[in-house]
Amino acid sequence: MLATSAGPIILRNLECFVDESDPSHGLIVGCPIMKILEYSTDELLVRARDGQTEWELAGTNDTTAPTAEGTMPLQRVCRLQAAMETSAPSVAASEDIERYETRTAFPTMAPEVLADLIRTLEQIFKVATAMGLVLEPRARLKAILRTRQDVFRLQFSDDPPVRVAPLQVSLKPGVTPTKSQPRRYSPDDRAFLERHVDALWQHSLVFRNPRSRWASAPRIVRKKEQDHDPLAGPRMTVYTRAENERTEAMPWPMPVLEVVIGELEGAHVFFVLDWFRGDCQLPLHPDSQEYFTFVTHRGMYTPTRVPTGATDAVAYCQGVVEEILGDLLGNGILCWLGDILGYAADATALMELLDKVLARCEEYGLKLLAKKCQFFATEVMWCGKLISAQGVMHCPERVQGLIGIPLSRTAGELQQFICAITWMRRGIPEYNRPTGDLYAVLERAMILAGSRKKQKLNRFLLIDAGWSERDTACLNAVRDALLNMLPLAHPSPTAEVCLYADASQAYWGAVVTQIDPSKLQLPLEKQNHRPLDFLSGRFAGASSRWATIEMEAFASVESTRRLEYLLLRPRGYTDHRNLVYMFDPYGSDGTMARYRADKLQRWALSLMSFKYVIEHVPGEVNAWGNLLSLWGAGPVFPTESIARRVARLAVVDRVSPLQEFEFVWRSEGEIRTLQQDTQYQEQARAAGVNWDDERALLLSPNGQVLIPPDATVLQQRLCVIAHAGAGGHRGAKTTAAALSEVFVWATMPADVSTFVQGCLHYMVTAGGKIPRPHGETLVATKPNDLLHFDFLSMLEGEDGSKYVFVLKDGMSGYVELVPCIDATSDQTYASLLDWFKRFGVVRLWVSDQGAHFKNQVIARLQSALGAHHHFTLSYTPWTNGTVKVVNREVLKSVKALLSERKLQTTYWPRVLPVVQVALNSMPSDRLGGATPLTAFTALPGESQLRSILHPQDPLEASVTWVEAEITNHLQTVRAALDGMHAEMTSASEKRRRAARDRHAMKRGLRPPSSVKATLSLLSPRQVEVVTSLPWFGADRNALSALLMITPSRFKI
């Protein structure tokens, strides 16, 4: 800044000489600078001639140092310039290998570049004016741009790095340098590399370093601007994977965009600033510069600034911007690396905020890219999201680009498409539903291609992975969902937050909305909900076999875990009444199995940090569909959604026997009516029971109401009331104590004890050993009458097999072991057909409820063959113990054979046939000493010892004799088989009964008695069932027992 008579003048990026010998002159500028300032030498001479025609300039060639006394200013300038010319150091021939960062860098900006910058800022100023910037803030913006003009750049300049501590990379202990060879580049890429590296060298951003022990190869990446701009060039990146693997990563917390964007509530105007080439502004410590040396066809160059792609580059960049902006973050400023977003309620406050930010940038020497800045707007693009006062949306250009992508032909293209839309999933309701089939196709393609990397997947066609018209329809449905994405509102501190969670058999979804608290009393179709976020997921593996209540609970719990920052005081909605009962902080549920109750209670504990209110929405209201309709985003698959809703209407709302419609609470009047019998009153008075005139009841000396001995229905209902519900299904003593405080009858202790022993829920709440569910497993009486099957998980074998499909005949125990790659319905289908084509169709199947067994494929096969598929109970593996025992034996035998033959574990498919032979040839005590092979096929089950003995010599015989012998042999075999099967069935039943008795005696359990009863549902059809519940007469506990085991209503 120079002082003139008209005021100060600022000269930026000025190269000057400093004359320290004369303090009266701070700096001296040369003729080129004076020409830029429109200084004319001719005008000076003309003005000098007007004063006098002759001037005395003696001593101007003296090269001695100028002094302050007796010299004119012009003489001092000439002497200083001559001294510098004579004392200038010679430049060594090896200057190219000198460390360039030791040279002094003078910031300069060419006149034409400065003119372009001014024009660019003027255009941005006009855009702000067109966006509605009013007069006073507009004048303020113009003054800011005039004062802070040096903060902006359009291209490289000799600017020093940002004034912060340089990045010093920390290497892992014991690492060695890595050096890459130069790549082979095309002529165009070589020309670009020469121009780009020369520009970096000219601006002191790199220096030549041929002795570097580290080197990485650059890669030339094409920009999308090259498609329509012939002057646009590519981008140079450096492949630093080897250096990154040897670097200790720097920890730094990156902001979560979904969270920080929530601070924009109340903002109406915005500005956006972008760094100018962040990789050219951040300083790199001299001790770390050699690590990022890159090699080209012209030599090796070491950067002096932090390169893009380094392990610590992102964390360091975020740390620098937070250091520069400091207290402004969260107070009108959000930053994500080099992208800065400013927001305010009005234009005046926004301009003041902009001035503060530019002042910080000027203080630290941070430069901004002028053409990407926006100083005033009501709608801006930041980090790929369109931000306005109404909410947040994804960039329309990106959405349109995804929609315009042609249909995927290869697995690599599908993988890239799925990765792109996953970034937008928070704006798509029920995202996992339309994309489920696409994920399944991609997983199949990855398995068949043997890799998950894009390079290999690009060579694998989707049609080879089973791509069908249904998958094409799903892809089009995803495109439609992208077009119907909803804008997400900014969270308001005064609004009521609502959580709608729902789940089906395969997927779960949730939406968080906000609404004015005064509108909550309106019907749902009239409430103006604004969405804050969407979540969705898929049930896979063990979660796909959860009960409905667990799936519903998981949707709510997982939503609160992910969206905790939004749910300060949530109001939850669900269409499952059991879920409301479970999550009620003041309720209890004693009718649920312990393992399930424990899981749900753990989930409920995670909700204790929220002050939530959970409400029930009936399924027929279809709150989810109403909300999507109000927002203009209909369901992707309406048919499936409606079917799921209809199925939900079948959920029974009654969760306790006390809430049954048929259950009648007894009143004092009914008890008084039962006590009116004269004969009974006389017997009661003789026993010492008094009549209370005030209450008109028979009372014991302790004030207990006397119940007649023949009122068995009343006694039973009183037991139900005292034991169930709030009674908590406690023990007999606790129930009797609670009952005896109010009522009394002669046999009450024995009746209560009998009642409690017959309660199934008491087995869970009482603690100790819980007996197995009452009932018998299915038993076969002849070969090929009952077929058990299951999948056994193994290590991946040499041929890719990961499972063994185990099939076992129910009567003989004959086993077949089929190695397979995946546990799928297709493998089950093929293995069952292979069994049936060799041994005949089996009409009764037994398996667990895995997705590979319980599906449409197996159901259609069962229907076509006229078979019955019995599924065992979930979480009760002993109900399918017949095949579980085989699984255990297979594992033990495989391990033993691999160890015996000294084979690797991946060779287990080789020994699997030997294991099958061993299992089928092993004599069984259950079969009376016969082998499973003999029992099933009537073939002799011989051991390998038989191979020691040679067969006898052949016998000569006629054809007639052979036919007769065959007929007699078949008749004998038939009779022998029938007898053998009967003996085996009898022996097996005796062993089973003895084992059951031993188990009961060891555990101290009382074997339940089975009672056969004919129950008629409220529907016209009749069904005969066998129940193993303890039965104590028609009037005692029959009703309570049935009410406890099933929510359905039966008529006995």
**What is the rounded CA–CA span in Å between residue 28 and residue 19?**
8
The mean pLDDT of the chain is 77
pLDDT digits (tens, 9 = 90+) for 320-365: 999 999 999 999 999 998 999 999 999 999 999 999 999 999 999 9
Question: How many residues does this entry show for the chain?
Answer: 1052
**Rama region for 175: left / alpha / beta (φ>0; ψ in -120 to 50; rest):** beta
Own/partner pairs, 154-157, CB within 8 angstroms, 24+ separation: 154/113, 154/116, 154/117, 154/120, 154/369, 154/370, 154/371, 155/113, 156/199, 156/200, 156/202, 156/203, 156/205, 156/277, 156/280, 157/13, 157/107, 157/108, 157/109, 157/113, 157/203, 157/367
**What is the rounded CA–CA span in Å between residue 341 and residue 346?**
15
In a domain, 490, yes or no: no
Strand 496-503 and strand 571-574: the pairing is parallel
When pLDDT is cut at 50, 70 and 90, the band that residue 590 belongs to is low
Residue 1050: pLDDT above 60? no
Backbone angles phi, psi at 213, to 5 degrees: -90, -10
**What is the rounded CA–CA span in Å between residue 419 and residue 452?**
13
User: Residue 662 has what pLDDT?
Assistant: 57
| 201 & 322 share domain | yes
| 732 & 805 share domain | no
| 722 & 642 share domain | no
| 572 & 526 share domain | yes
Angstrom CA distances, 310 to 288, 368, 864, stand at 11, 22, 63
In a domain, 98, yes or no: no
The mean pLDDT of 897-912, rounded to a whole number, is 87
Residue 620: pLDDT above 60? no
**What is the rounded CA–CA span in Å between residue 492 and residue 488?**
12
Domain that holds residue 637: 496-651
User: Residue 269 has what pLDDT?
Assistant: 95
Order of all β-strands in the sheet with 299-303: 206-208, 299-303, 294-296
Question: 38-73 burial, b if ≥16 CB within 10 A, otherwise e?
Answer: eeeeeeeeeeeeeeeeeeeeeeeeeeeebeeeeeee
In a domain, 884, yes or no: yes
Query: Last residue of a domain, which of 354, 389, 424?
Result: 389
Residue 205: pLDDT above 80? yes
User: Residue 1025 has what pLDDT?
Assistant: 37
Between 914 and 958, residue with greater pLDDT: 914
User: Residue 952 has what pLDDT?
Assistant: 55
pLDDT digits (tens, 9 = 90+) for 457-476: 988 899 888 899 889 998 88
| 46 & 177 share domain | no
The 3-state DSSP class for residue 511 equals strand
pLDDT digits (tens, 9 = 90+) for 389-418: 999 988 888 888 888 888 888 999 999 999
Q: What is the DSSP letter of 62?
A: -
Tokens found for residue 735: 């129930």
Query: Last residue of a domain, which of 348, 363, 389?
Result: 389
Which parts of 345-412 are beta strand (E)?
368-369, 374-377, 379-382, 385-388, 392-394
* Other CB atoms within 10 A of residue 9 CB: 10
Percent of all residues in the chain with a pLDDT value above 70, rounded to a whole number:
73
Between 338 and 880, residue with greater pLDDT: 338
The mean pLDDT of 199-226, rounded to a whole number, is 89
* Other CB atoms within 10 A of residue 809 CB: 26
| 411 & 553 share domain | no
| 261 & 128 share domain | yes
Judge whether 698 and 635 are in contact, CB under 8 Å.
no
Query: Last residue of a domain, which of 916, 941, 966?
Result: 941
**What is the rounded CA–CA span in Å between residue 496 and residue 528?**
12
Number of structural domains (the chain) is 7
**What is the rounded CA–CA span in Å between residue 996 and residue 889?**
22
| 751 & 882 share domain | no
Exposure of 449 in the CB half-sphere (CA atoms within 13 A): 24
Sign of CA dihedral 1026, 1029, 1030, 1032: negative
User: Residue 65 has what pLDDT?
Assistant: 44
pTM of the model: 0.53
User: Residue 137 has what pLDDT?
Assistant: 92
Residue 26: pLDDT above 90? no
Judge whether 533 and 566 are in contact, CB under 8 Å.
yes
Highest mean pLDDT among 377-381, 399-403, 862-866, 1000-1004: 377-381
Question: 417-443 burial, b if ≥16 CB within 10 A, otherwise e?
Answer: bbeebeebebbbbbbbbbbebbeebbe
| 158 & 46 share domain | no
| 478 & 500 share domain | no
User: Residue 900 has what pLDDT?
Assistant: 80
When pLDDT is cut at 50, 70 and 90, the band that residue 783 belongs to is confident
Judge whether 797 and 909 are in contact, CB under 8 Å.
yes
User: Residue 73 has what pLDDT?
Assistant: 45
User: Residue 790 has what pLDDT?
Assistant: 93
Strand 844-847 and strand 868-871: the pairing is parallel
| 588 & 620 share domain | yes
| 479 & 504 share domain | no
In CATH, what number is assigned to the domain containing residue 620? 3.30.420.10
